[in-house]
Amino acid sequence: MARKINPVSFRLGALQLWDFTLQNYGKLTYNSILHFYKRLQIKKVINQILSLNRFLPGSKELWFYNDKLFLIIYFANQSFDKNKLYSPLIENISKIFLKYFSIETYLRVYIKTNHVLTSNLLINYTKYLLQQNKNFVKILWYLCQFSENHLNSKKIIYSDQGIRLAYLRGFKIRLVGRFNDSRSQMAKTIQQGLEFQSLMCLRNYIEFFQDEIHMKSGSCGLQIWLFYELN
């Protein structure tokens, strides 16, 4: 007769709300779980440091090797003063990770000559507009205008067929939650998009990203779809 392995963990996963689902079968995988949790903490600390320094990075790359952290940050701001902000940023990140995580940090900051629209850039732009006390309808309008200006722009992606050139053909932005400027207690959904594409075509590539934005009235979910056409 078949029996369930680790039924306690199975019930906990069914009754509790987790950000991710991770089941253990057979032998314990304590080291893997600890490494995964440590990686999530490091990503959260990096985002907090960049937010406190008022940086709006376009994208980030990080990987670990022999207890060393290699971090690359790309900025799309031409007014970024590398001499004034680069050294304090390296010093703060290196000290924090060495003290709390016992990891040596190797940081590189690059400025992109061409503005490339990414989901991370839209997320950071949304948080910046919220700090300026903009209402959500106007924020959605700003995001759509910002995305429309980047239509037909190109970027290089990595696929199973090698390096490909992708062109931005459309986007969709959705905000879900209870907004600060609304008197209703119910959650609302507002979305806007342009030039949606079908998933049935093999030449289409979709980049999806979602994040939670915490406000006084609660948390709001932001979802972004970027539709690309492969060359």
Spatial separation of the C-alpha atoms in residues 42 and 64, rounded to whole Å: 11
Annotate 43-70 with three-state secondary structure. Answer: HHHHHHHHHHCCCCEEEEEEEECCCEEE
Confidence bin at 26 (pLDDT 50/70/90): low
- Start and end residues for every CATH 3.30.1140.32 domain found in the chain: 119-230
Confidence bin at 8 (pLDDT 50/70/90): very low
Confidence bin at 22 (pLDDT 50/70/90): low
- Output the average pLDDT for the chain: 73
The predicted structure's pLDDT at residue 196: 63
- Start and end residues for every CATH 3.30.300.20 domain found in the chain: 30-111
Q: Which residues lie across from 107 on neighbouring strands?
A: 71
pTM: 0.52
Query: Which of 42-51, 121-130, 181-190 is predicted with the least confidence, judged by mean pLDDT?
Result: 181-190
Greater confidence, 161 or 17?
A: 161
Neighbouring C-beta atoms of residue 54, cutoff 10 Å: 9
Percent of the chain, pLDDT > 70? 67
Spatial separation of the C-alpha atoms in residues 197 and 144, rounded to whole Å: 17
The predicted structure's pLDDT at residue 107: 81
Neighbouring C-beta atoms of residue 146, cutoff 10 Å: 15
CATH topology of domain 119-230: Ribosomal protein S3 C-terminal domain (3.30.1140)
Q: Does position 25 have pLDDT exceeding 60, yes or no?
A: no
CATH topology of domain 30-111: GMP Synthetase; Chain A, domain 3 (3.30.300)
Q: Does position 96 have pLDDT exceeding 80, yes or no?
A: yes
Q: Does position 211 have pLDDT exceeding 70, yes or no?
A: yes
Q: Answer whether 221's CB lies under 8 Å from 177's CB.
A: yes
The predicted structure's pLDDT at residue 92: 77
**Closest to 228 measured CA to CA, from 160, 141, 164:** 164
Question: What's CA 61's distance to the chain center, in Å?
Answer: 11
Greater confidence, 66 or 10?
A: 66
| Residue whose structure tokens are 């959605």 | 140
Task: Taking each helix axis as running N to C, give the angle between helix 82-100 and helix 30-52, from 0 to 180 degrees, rounded to the nearest 10.
Answer: 150
The predicted structure's pLDDT at residue 12: 44
